[in-house]
Structure 1
């Protein structure tokens, strides 16, 4: 068994480039790996050579799983950088294993009946090593995807996950919203009832409107409706001699912006749920 394994390893190591070229020719035209078709041929061949030349270390290592990481992580980073889908990269590995054995058989490595039996045993070990690589490639790919998601979500993901303004406890958000709404009522009363002016202080109302939409999605439109009703009722009570149109437009914009932001946040929340499922 050991003699046959050494024979197979020597063949793979010495003919790594030839096997890699055959694999590259296949993977670059195979209908299940279309993303490889446009890649530089030298780069694809190099991927194959790197793996086949690591075969000895992987085969003889006391802990093949750890030895496999040398290739697996580099392979995953390479195809992720080239935007190759995971399923295509995994099928490329399947082709890599197939060409390894096709080449060994073509070269007459299987001569005697005993060697053919030993080949089956070596095949089992080879399959195990490819299983290690497949698992590690998938694991590394997921790690890279998660890293990209974290970068792209940024502050939005932080807000959605409740890491600002009170953490995940909804009671803190409610308390803060009550404070903002009370402040809005005080401002409205002061400017309308005491100062008797329709000065544009209502831009501050967008603070609670935006926060409500971010935190509660489309349900946050209730805050927009409340503030819209507030300025309209206040205008009717305290600014009877002043044009109503400006405040009607402002009230409409409150509801519109609150609704649009809430709708967008609900969409992002669905993406966040997928993110949590993917990273669980």
Structure 2
């Protein structure tokens, strides 16, 4: 078993460029990885070579999971920056594994019944390595997504506090909030008085509530209180006999 595994690793390492080119051809035209189609082919091949050369290091490492990070985090960072969706980046890893075994089979490594049995055992080990990489790639993608969301939320908060509708120019804040409150009042009046319904529209109240919280912090709760009182009073006046719930 160990001899066969070493033979497989030797093949992967010595033919890493060839297998990576085969993978690049596949992933750059596959219908499940359309975002790869316009990428630089040398860059895609480089990622494939890095992965296939990882096999020996992982097989010899005391902690293969940690060793896998040397590739998976770089892979995730690179393709996240290239705007590759997570599902496509993950499927590209599946194609990495598929092309590896197709190449090994094409080279006639699975010749005898014993070698085929050893191939199955080596396949299990290979799958474990791929599982490590896939998990770490997904984990890194999630980290980058959360970082981007936090950055954008911070930018919105900064804009609200320091731009022309925030910061020192309080007049713009009050004017904007008054506009949203008036709109909320008009919408409430229409649905309660004309349409005679209390559904559909109330989720729009989140807009002034969230903006008030961003602009004024805890003091923004008074906007929520005002809208709630207005909604209840309107319901009591125009929807008499209709349950509040």
* TM-score normalised by L of structure 2: 0.68
Q: What count of residue pairs does the alignment treat as equivalent?
A: 188
Paired with 1:47 and 1:155, the residues of 2 have a C-alpha distance of 33
Q: Could you say which residue in structure 1 is the equivalent of 2:117?
A: 117
Paired with 1:46 and 1:204, the residues of 2 have a C-alpha distance of 54
Asked if residue 22 in structure 1 is aligned to residue 22 in structure 2, the reply is: yes
Q: Could you say which residue in structure 1 is the equivalent of 2:141?
A: 141
User: Deviations 1:191-225 (Å, cap 9, x if unpaired)?
Assistant: xxxxxxxxxxxx95655676799xxxx7xx38x98
Structure 1 residues 3 and 85: CA distance shift in structure 2, 3 A: same
- Give the structure with higher Rg (CA): 1
Structure 2 unmatched runs, 5+: 162-168, 186-204, 215-245
Structure 1 residues 156 and 38: CA distance shift in structure 2, 3 A: closer
Q: Could you say which residue in structure 1 is the equivalent of 2:208?
A: 262
- Between stretches 81-90 and 149-158, larger displacement belongs to 149-158
RMSD across aligned positions (CA): 3.3
Q: How does 1:124-163 map to 2 (within 5 A)?
A: 124-154=124-154, 156=156
Asked if residue 50 in structure 1 is aligned to residue 50 in structure 2, the reply is: yes
Q: How does 1:177-216 map to 2 (within 5 A)?
A: 207=173
User: Deviations 1:75-95 (Å, cap 9, x if unpaired)?
Assistant: 000100100101001000000
Q: Check conservation: 2:177, 2:208, Cα contact below 8 A.
A: no
Structure 1 unmatched runs, 5+: 165-202, 226-258, 269-280
Q: Which runs of 4+ in 1 moved over 3 A?
A: 155-160, 203-213, 263-266
* TM-score normalised by L of structure 1: 0.60
Q: Aligned with 1:8: secondary structure?
A: helix
Q: Could you say which residue in structure 1 is the equivalent of 2:229?
A: none
Q: Could you say which residue in structure 2 is the equivalent of 1:278?
A: none
